[in-house]
Structure 1
């Protein structure tokens, strides 16, 4: 993903091993490139995302992007839009790869519909001798042939914390089989639960948000209204992108409570059970919120 900090500045089980071996192959495009083969019933967006992660991002190989990413591809992240695969998006990602030369991506969870796929992931790498891990949630759209766009959030504020302190967070466990993620029927009831849940104030006690489980400092934000640009479900899992408007109370170092309504962008994948959100991962654009607060409080 683009570097927006500059813009705001014993596998133990034998059965698992057999499954892994049966679903991997050597990619002929590169020496020793190991890749995971999707099953025949894997939805198309998941297949495309696999190419995005394995062939493009983790290989640092922009030459393959034209094979599965539309020329008009646009990334919306925070308050920024990188429009055009070749014009803006690829150069922006290349800039971050130069800053983090060994950067890679680990996929923790995938949720898919027939034309969209959401991923909870972590990016990690070193820059100027210091290493960081930062999480994100992205929702990719597909026309059935290529990826046409993405709306994402990445926790750049936690990256700043690690680069400043020199202490790197641990990478969370990967999904054992992200590319075998099945396509489940949508769940309208679960979607309604999530819409209502996102109208409630932060912090949440049921999901992990940003790096609050590490820092112990929650973002306190009073939500007055919500706008959804993406929201879809696959079984009991719901993926979303939301723009919440409300009042910042606390949670960002050195910034006091602000009485001026602010926008907070957030992406997440959450699970609904018995009419309640019971778990999940949410990433919010705290860096963008910080920038707006600094301007308002100046």
Structure 2
């Protein structure tokens, strides 16, 4: 009788020790396959649980209907191992490489006001996993920074990034309606303002332009003098000989003299050089907008 009691106590101690070495609660038979019953612990995610048992995150998420995880939540982890195989992957399997788990990694572009906590939540992972994957020593991220995040169960090149998490900058709402671009028109034609649109009227001029070196004008800036355009107007200037165009800001009017005779605009040397003007006097076409009268 005493011998049976000692044996019973010994078996109980062995069973407790074995159960402490694994994270599962029990194992179920699901169509001949092993179905592990797992109790969620602190800071565990679908991704970390799948890594423990060497299965894909998608299979665990789908089997449990993507239920929210809390400490003590009971999950079922489906596997492809036959039920006759009584071995259960222990927590020590965390040592396995990421490649053996066959979890793909994609690039993710950090957006404004995004932190590791929010990104980890988006991809069902943990901050610790993200820091390990990217060799980060702190939680600080920069806007536009590219980091690696776990996604999917196959090789990364076979998967496309999820549409909910684009790599581009966040999409901004536009208050203007979209406009189709007619590729049959030249760039100059597409730049023309429609009549009476935006409260502006388009003005087109063609004639002689000159460039000067004047102490009152900064020759390194894109500035212009014009007789009728209001100060502050930005004029598009094109040299028909080279086909080059640039923009200059009107800062005043010019005085007519022998050098500026018959000229429609006076520009700085920097402006003239950008459109390939060789001589001080050259032909130019102007396009600018003035307020509707």
TM-score, length-scaled by structure 1:
0.20
* Higher RCO structure, 1 or 2 (CA under 8 Å, sep 6+): 1
- In terms of fraction of residues, the more strand-rich structure is 1
TM-score by length of 2: 0.20
Rg larger in 1 or in 2? 2
